[in-house]
Amino acid sequence: MTVKITINGREVEAEAGRDLLSTCLEQGVEVPHFCWHGDLGSVGACRLCAVRVFDGPQDTVGRIEMSCMTPVRDGQRVEVADPDAARFRAHVIEWLMLNHPHDCAVCEEGGACHLQDMTVATGHRNRRSDAPKRTHRNQDLGPLLTHEMNRCIACYRCVRFYRDYAGGTDLDVFGAHDRVYFGRATDGVLESPFAGNLAEICPTGVFNDKGWSQKYARRWDMAATPAICPHCAAGCNITLYERHGTLRQVQNRYHGALNGSFLCDRGRFGPLFADAARISVPRLGGAAVAPEAALEAARALVPGACGVGSPRASLEANFALRRLVGAGRFFAGVSDAEAALVRRMAAVLVAGPARIASMKDIETADAALVLGEDLTGTAPRAALALRQASRGASRALAAEKGVPGWQDAAVRVAGEGRLSPVTLVTPLPDALDDIARPALRRTPAQVAEFGFAVAAALRGEPVADAEALATATALAEAAAPLVVAGMGLGSGGAVEAAAAVVAELGVRARLALFPAEVNSMGLALLGGEGLEAAALALEAAPGPLFVLEADVFERADPATVARLMAAATSVIVLDCLETRLTAAADLVLPVASFAEAAGTVVNFEGRAQRGFAGLPEGRPAAWRVLSQIGGLFAEDATLEDVLAAMEADCPALAGAVDAAPVGVVPGRVARAPAPFSGRTASDLAGRLPEGTPPHDRDSGLSWTMEGIRGARVPPALSTGPVVPGMHSVSAAYHAQEYIGGPLKGGDPGAALLVAGQGGVTPVAPVPETDGEGLIWLPLHDAFSATETDRASPLLAARAPGPRLLLHPEDAAALGLAAGAAVLVEGAPTAAMLTLDAAMPRGHVGLSVGLAAPRGRAGRLRLEAAP
């Protein structure tokens, strides 16, 4: 219900029951605060948000209240600048600063710190106490985060995010008297794959990004560039921070429909791989050669060549390769089965009737069915979103019981015992089990059967599976039911089952299907069969093989790769990473990583998004190298020219050009960091030792700190809001263009897939027949599943080793004991055997990427290594 209240003498409309603090911020009225956060709500811990509240015109005295804990009521008057309230806030800051070390000069957060901003805002200047400060022992929290507890102001944001929002259990608050400690019970790696968000959510420098700390530059000295996380199909928006030609840090870039305020650790720390494992010099026959000689050699190999594109390369790079070799000789750098499955996903999404789910839709679902997908391993940000759907159910129950929705702890208690809206059907125990009621264990074949049973129940057919019946009832009663599947199980059964369920649910359903990589969907829309077809084509007409940013050893069955390599007369690889394939290639050409060139990718929703070069003088874009080889585009062609040609050739990609403005934005957009001072860079323009900044031909971004900033910047080019007096990431919640969810200018990206076109009939998978060996159950490890994950030193330090899991009885039948070294298909594996009674009989769990290529065939023969 909307009511009228007065804020600082201005009458505004506000939502009754909502907290006063966020209402003031939305009206553009600043209220100092620490513990309130737009995604965590209010807890009333810091007492900084004091304002004077009058009940109405008759109330001439009013009282000091915490605005975050005070619900909006009709006729209320709020005075933020009231002298008593201002004095109260100044006292709060003074007592919070009593024990703060005042170490801004050596703190990473200095200049981008919410505590600094609030201290200035409340007018606290001088320390009056000379009492000794309370000190704490810091913990070693693993390779990703630093811990400096002396800086803590006890706002509780960290535990509220870690435990309430992200479901972590190993970070907590411990206290006795006035000693309150936020950390683990003992030193050790923070287990949550979302722990990195603590570095942003902490309003001071208690938790910080260890990678940044090791390659530190002040925030205002770094160039900030909008980019897309390259680590999974979610397509989260990130900001790359660069200084002196190296990537220093990655931060979340707010996107209302996707990542909102949070990233997973894979997306926060993984992209720094672009600074490591670099191929910088062309190699011919294993020896370094000059770039022109390498291009000349490549030109000679174009006639009769096949090309293998990549789901981790941009649309522009893939399109250029397709143009070089011709559409008939262009193949996707994945198995045939994966290529077909992603095409099928696109067809299912487009068919409808379900709406294609965004991450926000996942968060707001009131009933959800997850079929077979280990989201924490395959698309971690989606797991975090699904957790919020469960929290939403608790909140709804709390509202029914009259518990104010802004009291998170009370909501959690009130929500206890409520049936979660999430049904999770996976082969193995899952990180989301704690929010699932029920969490069902089924084999991959049974996962598909379960989905089809739910669909049958929705049609009113008799169904023997009571859980399927209950799930169908929950979905049928929901206003916004959600179905999630993907290619995590390596087969299409779950996707077909998901299609069958949403076909029965109709237009109110939302459907999320997750392919494996950042541009899997884009590559599928570009077309092309997979690696088995490439091998066949080369066997029929042998010729050179150009491979773009795809380690084929990683993505296809070893037999297929052997055929491919044998049939190719020579292998030319364009990549930024050293891989098994670059070691075997005849010619290696270095090309830009995602952080060195602008490029467009298509995420799980079919949303085309563009990232830009975050390093000023990196390797050339792959499409430029291919153009130099084949004369594909004019010498001075820009990204815009490639996109225009691509849209003309590939109708399925029409609209990709609209992912972000290309070409020059009037005035150019400064690559300015969000906490911008410009002190170093702007004031010294033209006199810096860096010299003349390079010119970016492929975007409207400038390589200086000068240019347009703030609200005039198109959303896809924005790296953060500009809020006077605010320099931390918390400023996002003060910025008018961010408040209320989607960016006011529209969330970045262009939808290439539009649901509701029909034309798909779900196909139930054929039941498994007996075969030799055990059925492979792909295990997805959040930090090591792809070649880019493993190229990131920070993720590599965090990643567990490869896993090989067997049911104890299967292991006994094979004569294998726990810890045994095992041969898989006759070849040794790095994974040691673990016996796990949760494993389905007749299956073997093996880590994707580390221990098994993603395109591996369905059954594996195991034997003890000699």
Q: State the residues that interact with ligand FES by CB under 6 A.
A: 33-36, 44-49, 66, 68
Decide whether 43 or 576 has the Cβ nearer to ligand FES: 43
Q: How far is CA 764 from the centre of its chain?
A: 31
The continuous run of DSSP H or E covering 350 comes out as helix 336-351
Integer Rg of the chain from CA: 28
Q: How many CA atoms lie within 13 A of 815 on its CB side?
A: 5
Alpha helices (H) along 717-798: 787-791, 793-798
Closest among 768, 825, 831 to 802, alpha carbons compared: 831
Q: Which residues of 270-293 are buried (b: 16+ CB within 10 A; e: fewer)?
A: bbbbbbebbbeebbbeeeebeeee
Query: Please, which residue, 36 or 604, has the CB nearer to ligand FES?
Result: 36
Pairing relation of β-strands 599-602 and 607-611?
antiparallel
- Distance between CA atoms of 24 and 26, rounded to whole angstroms? 5
Q: For residue 314, what are the β-bridge partners?
A: none
SS3 606: coil
Q: Which residues of 514-540 are buried (b: 16+ CB within 10 A; e: fewer)?
A: bbbbbbbbbbbbbbbbbbbbbbbbbee
CB 494 within 8 A of CB 339: no
The least CB distance from residue 49 to ligand FES, in Å, is 3
Nearest-angstrom CA–CA distance, 607 and 525: 12
- Shorter beta-carbon distance to ligand FES: residue 44 or 143: 44
Q: Among residues 33 and 803, whose Cβ is nearest to ligand FES?
A: 33
Q: Which residues pair with 169 in a beta bridge?
A: none
Nearer to ligand FES, 732 or 777 (CB): 732
Which residues, in sequence order, are CB contacts of 693 under 8 Å at separation 6+?
A: 616, 702, 703, 704
By three-state DSSP, how is residue 514 classified? strand
Report the C-alpha gap between 743 and 26 in whole angstroms: 13
Residue 668 tokens, joined: 């150019």
User: For ligand FES, which is the closer residue by CB, 47 or 124?
Assistant: 47
Nearer to ligand FES, 159 or 775 (CB): 159
Q: Are 442 and 497 in contact (CB under 8 A)?
A: no
Spatial separation of the C-alpha atoms in residues 351 and 345, rounded to whole Å: 10
Cα–Cα distance, 7 to 70 (Å, whole number) = 14
Please state the closest distance from residue 38 (CB atom) to ligand FES, in A. Answer: 11
Q: Running DSSP on this structure, what letter comes out for residue 506?
A: G
- Angular region, 8: left φ>0, alpha ψ -120 to 50, beta rest: left
The total of other beta-carbon atoms located within 10 Å of residue 506's CB is: 12
Nearer Cβ to ligand FES (20/240): 20
Contacts of 667 (CB under 8 A, 6+ apart): 707, 708, 712
Residue 551, SS3 per DSSP: coil
**Which residues lie below 8 Å from residue 601, measured CB to CB, with a gap of 6+?**
228, 230, 235, 314, 315, 518, 519, 522, 608, 609, 610, 611
β partners of residue 13: 4
Assess contact for 207 and 245: CB atoms under 8 A. Answer: no
State the minimum distance, in angstroms, from the CB of residue 114 to ligand FES.
11
Instruction: Give dist(CA 148, CA 483) in Å, integer.
Output: 42
Q: Coil, strand or helix: which one is 599?
A: strand
CB of 584 to ligand FES, least distance (A): 58
- Please give the sequence-ordered ranges of beta strands (E in DSSP) within 576-673, or none if there are none: 587-590, 599-602, 607-611, 669-670
Number of residues that make up the chain: 866
> Strands 179-183 and 172-176: what pairing?
antiparallel
Q: In the numeric block, which tokens belong to residue 183? A: 């950390």
Minimum CB–partner distance for residue 482 and ligand FES (Å): 32
Nearer to ligand FES, 123 or 506 (CB): 123
* Cβ closest to ligand FES, residue 25 vs residue 198: 25
Nearer to ligand FES, 69 or 591 (CB): 69
